[in-house]
Structure 1
Amino acid sequence: MSLQLGQIAPDFDQESTDGPIRFHEWLGESWGLLFSHPKNFTPVCTTELGEVARLKPEWDKRNVKPLGLSVDPLESHAEWAKDIAETQGHALNFPLLADADKRVANLYGMIHPDSDPSVTVRAVFLIDPAKRIRLILIYPPSAGRNFAEILRAVDSVQTGDRLKVSTPVNWEPGKPAIISPALTDEQAKEHFPQGWRELRPYLRMVELAD
């Protein structure tokens, strides 16, 4: 199944380290970050899961629920969790799906046969409270993810939704954003009474006041 931005994220039921999860129900009114790992007891995955656990205050601040996935059984997850806590200094504080039958992995297109038919790629799906997919990132099994960049991308998407802006290259919170070209100047004045800097009619930079 080929998923695209804007689609409703497929719902599913699967076992996890926190018990059975019905995905849409579990998300509730939160954002979700569904991310996959090739398999248990692999070095890159171990560092990533420790980092996601360390970042719990950042996910909470953004109303994001992380949900990991590995195509190994639940018993194996429990043993791996011990290694993660001991080597990374942060115990798992979010669920890890036990997708041994690969139902979720196949539903989300996380297995790329021409790369490796036996494991999942490092996929990332950002899902909003309306259950729509807002961001998709795909990494090869060997490349560790940059979760600082993933947090930045979450900030960009959420800021865009809230303030009707886009974000320019290398944007970070606190930096100027771009007023949506869909807004006329008159509409922009209502949203941005602080004014903006017009580089071109289609490129209006605004300091965010929130």
Structure 2
Amino acid sequence: MENQAPVASFPRLNEAAPAFKANTTHGVKSLEDYRGKWLILFSHPADFTPVCTTEFIAFAKAAPKFAQMNCDLLGLSIDSLYSHLAWTLNIKEKFGVEIPFPIIDDIKMEVASAYGMVHPGAADTQAVRATFIIDPEGILRAMVYYPMSNGRSIDEFVRLLTALQTSDKHGVATPEAWVPGQDVIVPPPKTSEAADNRPNEGYNTVDWYYSTKSL
């Protein structure tokens, strides 16, 4: 029994992200270290694997864009610190890309289990491709899971973070595939009187529950 992997739990949106304190390639990091910033915490199945290598290169290239958006990056796999260091040095040597963000050493699967990154149907000792967006207050705002066989789109996480920040700032929602410059969705009215008055409020109103506006 003592060799069994920890039972995976699954955090929930709009609740506090699970706290952690862990060794990383940039020293000890905790969730509290990222207070006041957005954080993208993402897991990969293993170091020295081809799909993960493409993802890390893409995250590294997008790191300046995330930094402009007040967002840090933090990777994780169930590998040792030495494996992470060797892999990042290999990426620099073979691909000419430096990995600027920390990677958590999670051999004991403590962080992976707290975040529900271990799915026994996929592998008992590897983390699936999970991505968590945590806001400056430490609240989990989005989570996305990918299979081990297919890489993520880092551009989509840039888009999603932009949409989340826009919704927070303006109190609006965003439609499918929204990008800056497109109209946003106005929250629907909550009373009969407000619904009756919606067409007179100056929005682009299709019906009482669907109105958009430009920012």
TM over 0.5, shorter chain? yes
Asked if 1:68 corresponds to 2:97, the answer is no
CA contact (8 A) 1:33 1:126 kept: yes
Asked if 1:144 corresponds to 2:151, the answer is yes
Counterpart residue identity of residue 180, structure 1: P
The residue number in structure 1 matching 2:25 is 17
Asked if 1:3 corresponds to 2:11, the answer is yes
Partner SS for 1:78: helix
Partner SS for 2:27: coil
Shift of 1:182: 5.1
Asked if 1:90 corresponds to 2:101, the answer is no
Q: Please give the TM-score of this superposition, normalised by the length of structure 2.
A: 0.89
Structure 2 CA distance for aligned equivalents of residues 22 and 118 of structure 1: 23
Structure 2 CA distance for aligned equivalents of residues 87 and 180 of structure 1: 49
The residue number in structure 1 matching 2:123 is 116
Shift of 1:102: 0.8
Q: Please give the TM-score of this superposition, normalised by the length of structure 1.
A: 0.91
Counterpart residue identity of residue 78, structure 1: L
Asked if 1:129 corresponds to 2:136, the answer is yes
Cα deviations across residues 16-52 of structure 1 (Å, max 9, x unaligned)?
A: 000011222x102001100001011001111111111
Quickly say closer, same or farther: Cα 1:182–1:73, change in 2 above 3 A. farther
- Misfit runs of 4+, over 4 Å: 182-185
Structure 1 CA distance for aligned equivalents of residues 55 and 101 of structure 2: 13
Extract unaligned runs of 5+ from structure 1: none
Structure number, greater radius of gyration: 2
CA contact (8 A) 1:66 1:94 kept: yes
Quickly say closer, same or farther: Cα 1:18–1:182, change in 2 above 3 A. farther
Partner SS for 1:138: strand
Structure 1 CA distance for aligned equivalents of residues 16 and 189 of structure 2: 24
Counterpart residue identity of residue 71, structure 2: V
The residue number in structure 1 matching 2:86 is 79
The residue number in structure 2 matching 1:167 is 174
